Chain A
Amino acid sequence: MSTHHTSLVSFYHDGELHRRQLHHFEAHLAGCPICQKELATLRRLSHVLEDFTIPVGKTSPERFSARIRARLPARQRQSAWRTALQGVWQAAPALLFGTLTFGQAVLMLSGAALTIAGLSGSVPWPRNSWLVRLALLFGAAIDHSTRSLLQLLGTLSWFTVLELAFLGIIGLLYWGWLASWWAYHRSVA
């Protein structure tokens, strides 16, 4: 049946085929008795399903509407600070992106300025920094790769650590916003 596009028959019946697909399928359908039969069955099924009718409800439409309206809680006018907070929340991704761009620019410029002034940000932390000493202290307890990582971190410049921390905080805030957005939309649905 694969050559007879069974799924396309369903798509055609449901009005899901567009332009070229529709033309191709109609051309195929005109000469294919198997697809014609399949389509006729789907149409019969839709017709038979019309027999699942809706009985008259116990509540009249007017009463139904009135009952809901009687239960509607008055919507409190949103306070100004809440509106502002909502605005900030909605604009959070743009604000975070702006902060990231601004922060990166500041770090880049200050890095260049420090280099020119001879106070290069690439000056590493003192040898045997606390991270390196920690790695040496627990050298026996931690595996080789962790020790290497700690030693590497210990040799990073304070400027790089600042940059990493900045990126980390922005990333954390963005993921936090994304999680709250997801939770909010789940609750609405």
Chain B
Amino acid sequence: MPAPVAQDEWRLVTQAQRGDQEAFGELIRRNQEQVIGLVYRLCGDMELAEDAAQEAFLRAWQHLPSYRPDAPFKNWLYRIAANIALSALRRERAMTDIDDLLPAASDEEPEDETEASERREYVRRAVLALPAASRAVLVLREYEGLSYREIAEVLNIPIGTVMSRLNYARSKLRESLAPYLQAEGE
């Protein structure tokens, strides 16, 4: 069995490849949180993230016979989910303003809670304000911990493009999150 896929996971994958829905259900259970998280951070809308994640798992089931364990199963799912999310985002962008996705701040929260909530909202806005292509690279690196090579495989782009998009995203975030970065440094 090839190294990138854990023994236990590979057993589930081969069972699911033979049509075992129970095994695929276990694969969904193990990966759903990460797939939803990835899509949510790409599109900023939980409802859209859940729909896209469902779509990703359905598509994964259809294409499972062609999966080869030369990359982790999770990365293969990420690749499908990222494609669906970025396509959905292109469609949604024409209809939805990103500000419409942001929840209204509550006035009733305690002061500390309000400050923490404001900060979370600020960071969320800053990440979602990045161009989708750079955001995808940043999310896969910062939140999913993928290496440059893995990101290149997931997004089907050259490794040099991964580096340049990551640098761009970080430089933009250093500008937009400057107040919080300075506060952290003090």
Of B46, B53, B184, the contact of A48 (CB 8 Å cutoff):
B184
User: In whole angstroms, how far apart are the Cα atoms of A42 and B32 in the complex?
Assistant: 29
A53 touches B142 (CB 8 A): no
Q: Which of B40-90 contact A (CB under 8 A)?
A: 40-41, 46-47, 49-50, 53-54, 57-58, 61-63, 65-66, 79-80, 83
0/1 per residue, A52-80, Cβ < 8 Å to B? 11110111010011011101111101100
Q: Which of B1-52 contact A (CB under 8 A)?
A: 19, 21, 24-25, 28-29, 32-33, 36-37, 40-41, 46-47, 49-50
Of A45, A53, A78, the contact of B174 (CB 8 Å cutoff):
A45
B58 touches A68 (CB 8 A): yes
Hey, which chain A residues are within 8 Å of B21, CB to CB?
69, 72
Hey, which chain B residues are within 8 Å of A71, CB to CB?
54, 58
Which one of A10-18, A91-99, A125-133 contacts B? A10-18
- Decide if A1 is an interface residue (CB 8 Å cutoff): no
> How many chain B residues have a CB neighbour from A under 8 Å?
50
Contact sample, A vs B, 11 pairs, CB 8 Å cutoff = A14-B148, A42-B170, A45-B177, A48-B177, A51-B123, A57-B49, A65-B25, A69-B24, A72-B61, A75-B19, A184-B66
Chain A interface residues (CB < 8 Å from chain B):
7, 10, 14-16, 40-42, 44-49, 51-55, 57-59, 61, 64-65, 67-69, 71-75, 77-78, 184, 188-189
List 5 A-B pairs, minimum CB-CB distance, nearest first.
Answer: A75-B19, A51-B123, A44-B184, A51-B120, A65-B28
Chain B interface residues (CB < 8 Å from chain A):
19, 21, 24-25, 28-29, 32-33, 36-37, 40-41, 46-47, 49-50, 53-54, 57-58, 61-63, 65-66, 79-80, 83, 119-120, 123-124, 127, 141-143, 147-148, 156, 163, 166-167, 170, 173-174, 177, 180-181, 184-185
